[in-house]
Amino acid sequence: MKRKIPPQVGVIVVSVILMTRLAAQAPNAQTIHEVGQQYKEGNTLQGAMDNSAITSQAMFEANLKAKKNIVDMKPNTFLSLWNNPAFAVQFEKYLSAPAETTEDYKIYRERIQKIMDLLSPGYATKANQDEAFNLLSKASEFESDANLCTTIHDAVYAAANVRVLVMRLTEANQQNTKELKTAEYNQLHSAQSLSLPALAPGKNDVVVNNEIQKELRTAVMEPSKDEVSSMKATIQKNKAQIATAEIQAKFQMQALILQLFVQRRYQHVIILNRFYRALFDDGDQSLEEFNQMADKMGYNKEAGQVKIVADAAPKGSVASGTTGNNGPGVGAHAGDNGAGVGTGGYYGNSGDATALSGSGLNLGVQNLSVESAQNALSTAMRGASRTFKSLSQIDSVANEIIRDVNEGVKVYKFLLEKQELESAASQIAAVFTKGEYLPSVRLLSQDDKRKTLAYAQLCNRLVNAANSGNIDILIEVVDKMKQLNPGFDDAEIRSKLQSVKTASSLYVAQAKVAAAKGDLQGVQTQITRAAALWPNNPELQTFSAEMSRVSEKASPMVQALSDFDQLEGQGNYRRIFDEKEKYIAAVAADDSPKKTERQGKLRAVLDRMQEIEASIMRAQEISRRGDQAGAWEGLEVTFQKYPDDPKLGQLRADLTTKTPDFVNDIRQAKEFEERKEYGSALAWYLRAQGRYPMSDLSKQGIQRVVRNIAPNAN
C-alpha cells in the first residue's frame, strides 16, 4: 500500500538539503537567494532516485513494523473478524439496524412457529399438513421471509403432484398387467385351437404346403403376439417413469433443504424437512439420491478445479441451468457471495438445474469455466454428501444451531451487562454469523447493539489506523478502546507502538550523527525512515528547527541580522558600531517584515555612537592641550547621557586620575546637592570653580543650587 509522505517530512528534507548545500556545495554563495539561484542554474539535486528508493524501503519497513505487526497479530478474536470487509459491512449494518419488533414481523414469526408446530413429530396429521401447507403462502407475504416459504410451497406442491403421477402410473400398470395376462391367455388359446390344412395332395406339393401353413400360423398368431409385446413395453415404460419422477422430486427437495441450510434459514430447513418426511417415507436413507448423484459426477482433470476463494462467512449461492435431452443440467452463477454451480435431473427431458454452493464448500472462484464448474459442483456435492448422510442429520443440526444462537444471545446480553465488551462483541459476531435470520438475533434491541457498534467502529478505526501507519491515531484509537472496554488487551499493541517510536527516534539520532558528519544522503535516509515510522515524531520537529538554525548560520546576511537583533537587545551598541558596515548592509538587504524596525534601531545606534565618539575625540584633544579638567568635564556630560559605553567610561576613568581634586569637588558637590544640603553643595561647587574657573559643571551647579536656596533670586 502506498502511503503519502507528511508535509513536515518534505520541509525537513528540503531544510536539510538547503543547509548542506549552503555549507558544502555553495561556498561562494553569500545569501540564500544566491544559493537558490545556483539551483535554478542547474545545480540539480543528485541522488533523487536513490532518495525514492530509500523512501520506498522506509515505507516497506513502516508497513512491516507498524501495520503488519499490529494488524496481523490479531489482538483478539473480534478484531480478526474485521479483516473480512464483506463481513464487517454486513455486521455493521446489522448493529445499526433497529430491532425487528414490528407487528408484521411478529405475525410472521407466529406463522412460522405455527407451521413448525403443525409439522412437528406426533402432530403431523393429514389435516395439520394441509394447514401448514396453506400457511406457507401466508408466511411468504412478509419481507423477512424473502419468499422462501413460496419456494417451499412450490417444492412441496411439485412433490405432491409427482406422488399423484406415480399413483396413476402404478394403477395404469396394474391394469396393463391384467390385460397382458388376458392377452397371453388368448394367444395361448389361439395357438392351441389353430387348425391347419391336411397333408399335401402330392409329393411335389409338400414344400408349398408347408409355406402355406407357416403363413397361416403367422396370420393367426401375430395380432395376439403384438398385443402382448405392446402391453409389456407399456408396463416397463410406466415403471421407468415412476422411478424417474420420484427421484427427481426427492432430489429437488433435498437440494432445496441443503440450500436453505447454507443460507442459514434453519427454520425453513426444518419445515421443508418435515414436509419431505410426510411426502416420502425414506427414513435415514433420504439423502441417498443426492449422494448417489454426487458420486456419479465426473471430474475433468484437464479442466482443473475452480480455485476457491473462501472466507469464513458461509453464504450460499443459487444458480439455475437448463439442459436438453437426458443429461445433467449444469448451472453456474458468480454472485456477491461467490460462485454457485448445480446440476439438473439426469433422467428427464429439459431438466432444470439447481445450483448450490454450501456448507462452506465454495465461495468465490477463479478459473471459472463449464468444465471447472462441473468439477467444483462435483466437489461441492461430494462435500455435502459427506457432511450430511441423512435428512435427520440436517434437522438435528438446524435445531442445535437455533438453540445455540438463542443461548448466544442471552450470553451476549449478560456480557454486556458486565461491560465485558470484547467478549460480548465476539459473542454477537458469532451469533450473527450462525443465525443472522433467527428471531432471537433479529429481536436484539438497537440499544443492546449500539455498544458493540461503537466498539466495532473503533475496531475498524484501529485496522484503518494500522493500515495508514499513523501511530498517533493508532494510539488515540487504542486509548479509546481501552476506555470503552477496560478488558481490551492492549499490551501487545502498545508494545509494538513503543517499538516503532523508539525506532523512529533512533533514526532521528542517526540523522543527527549524519548531519554532524556532513552526510546529506545519510541525513535524508534516516529522516525519511524516521518520518515513515512516526510522521508526528516531535524529535523530527526539533531536528527541523535545528537544521533551520544551522542553515541560517550559513548565510552571512541572516547571521548579521540575527547578531544585530541580539546585540541591540543586549544594548551592546559599541559592538554594532564597530561593525557598522556589516549591519548597515544587512539591514539594507533585509527583506523581512522587520526591516523598518531594524532600520530605526540601527539609525538610533549610529546617532548615539557618533555623539559618543565626537565627545571622546573632543576630550582627547582638550586633554592633549593640558586641560585635563576641561577634558574630563566634557566627557562627563556625555557619560551622564550614555553611561554604558565602555570606551567612554574608560577614557573618563583615565581623565579622572589626571584631575582628581576637581573631579572630587564636583562629585562632592553633586552628592550634597542630591542630599539637599545646598549650602555645602554650593561651597563645593564654588571650590571646584575656584580650581577650574571655566568649568561649566560648576557654573551650572552653582546656578542650580542658588535657585534652590533662593528661588526668586535674580
Partner 1 sequence: MSRRRKSRGLPASVLLVVVVLLAAGGYWIFSQGGREGSLRTVEELDPSLYYSNANSLRGNTYRINAEIDSSLGNSPDKGRLFSITLRDASKAGAPVILPVLVPPALGSLTIQKGQHYLMKVKVGDNGLLSVEEAHKP
- How near is the Cβ of 622 to partner 1 at its closest, in Å? 22
Q: Are residues 34 and 566 in contact, defined by beta-carbon separation less than 8 angstroms? A: no
Q: Based on CB atoms, which residue is closest to partner 1, 639 or 678?
A: 678
Q: What's the distance, CA 505 to chain centroid?
A: 27
Shortest distance in whole angstroms from residue 617 CB to partner 1: 31
Q: How many CA atoms lie within 13 A of 341 on its CB side?
A: 27
Residue 663 touching partner 1 (CB under 8 A): no
CB nearer to partner 1: pick between 207 and 710: 710
- What's the closest the beta carbon of residue 628 comes to partner 1, in angstroms? 16
Contact between 680 and partner 1 per CB under 8 A: yes
Residue holding cell 547571521?
A: 559
Among 706, 703, 699, 697, which residue's Cα sits nearest to residue 659?
A: 697
**Contact present, 216 and 196 (Cβ < 8 Å):** yes
Q: Is residue 676 a contact point for partner 1 (CB under 8 A)?
A: yes
Axis crossing angle, helix 206-262 with helix 288-296, rounded to the nearest 10:
100
Give the angle subtended at the CA of 139 by the CAs of 136 and 140, to the nearest 5°.
85
Should residue 684 be labelled a site residue for partner 1 when binding is judged by CB under 8 A?
A: yes
Out of 68, 442, 691, 704, the only residue in the binding site for partner 1 (CB under 8 A) is 691
Shortest Å, Cβ 661 to partner 1: 8
User: What are the distances in angstroms from CA 469 to CA 5, 10, 271, 404?
Assistant: 11, 17, 51, 40
Q: Within 610-649, which residues bind partner 1 (CB under 8 A)?
A: none
Angle at 244 (CA atoms; ends 243, 250), nearest 5 degrees:
90
678 near partner 1, judged by CB under 8 A: yes
Considering only 21-29, 88-96, 141-149, 676-684, which stretch makes contact with partner 1 by CB under 8 A? Answer: 676-684
Using CA atoms, how far apart are residues 691 and 209, in angstroms rounded to an integer? 197
Concatenated DSSP letters of 517-578: TT-HHHHHHHHHHHHHH-TT-HHHHHHHHHHHHHHHHT-HHHHHHHHHHHHHHHT-HHHHHH
Under the binding rule (CB under 8 A), the answer on residue 702 touching partner 1 is yes
Kindly tell me which of 296 and 675 has the beta carbon lying closer to partner 1.
675
CB 300 within 8 A of CB 379: no
Q: Do 546 and 554 meet the contact criterion of CB atoms below 8 Å apart?
A: no
Give the Å distances, CA to CA, from 30 to 22, 35, 552: 9, 8, 11
Nearest to 326, CA basis, from 257, 425, 410, 241? 241
311: Cβ–Cβ under 8 A, 6 or more apart, which residues? 84, 86, 87, 363, 364
Tell me which of 52, 214, 679, 700 binds partner 1, using CB under 8 A.
679
Segment 291 to 350, residues that bind partner 1, using CB under 8 A: none
Residue from 64, 167, 370, 710 in contact with partner 1 (CB under 8 A): 710
Binds partner 1 (CB under 8 A): choice among 391, 463, 682, 697: 682
* One-letter amino acid of 389: K
With binding defined as CB under 8 A, does residue 382 bind partner 1? Answer: no
Minimum separation from the CB atom of position 699 to partner 1 (A) = 11
Using the contact rule CB under 8 A, the part of the chain among 76-84, 394-402, 431-439, 683-691 near partner 1 is 683-691
List b or e across 18-33, with b for residues whose CB sees 16 or more CB atoms inside 10 angstroms: bbbbbeeebeebebbe
Neighbouring CB atoms inside 10 A of 333's CB total: 19
Nearer to partner 1, 176 or 698 (CB): 698
Contact stretch for partner 1 (CB under 8 A) within 229-237, 475-483, 606-614, 686-694: 686-694
> Does residue 269 interact with partner 1 by CB under 8 A?
no
Output 35 or 702, the one with its CB closest to partner 1.
Answer: 702
Q: Considering only 10-18, 41-49, 623-631, 689-697, which stretch makes contact with partner 1 by CB under 8 A? A: 689-697
Taking CB under 8 A as the rule, does residue 687 contact partner 1? yes
**With respect to partner 1, which residue has the nearer C-beta, 172 or 706?**
706
Q: Does 605 engage in binding with partner 1 (CB under 8 A)?
A: no
Output the smallest distance, CB 585 to partner 1, in A. Answer: 55
Q: Give the interface segment with partner 1, choosing from 58-66, 230-238, 307-315, 672-680 (CB under 8 A).
A: 672-680
According to the binding rule CB under 8 A, does residue 677 interact with partner 1?
yes
Displacement of CA 410 from its chain's centroid (Å): 31
Residues in touch with partner 1 (CB under 8 A): 668, 672, 676-684, 686-687, 689-691, 702, 706, 709-714
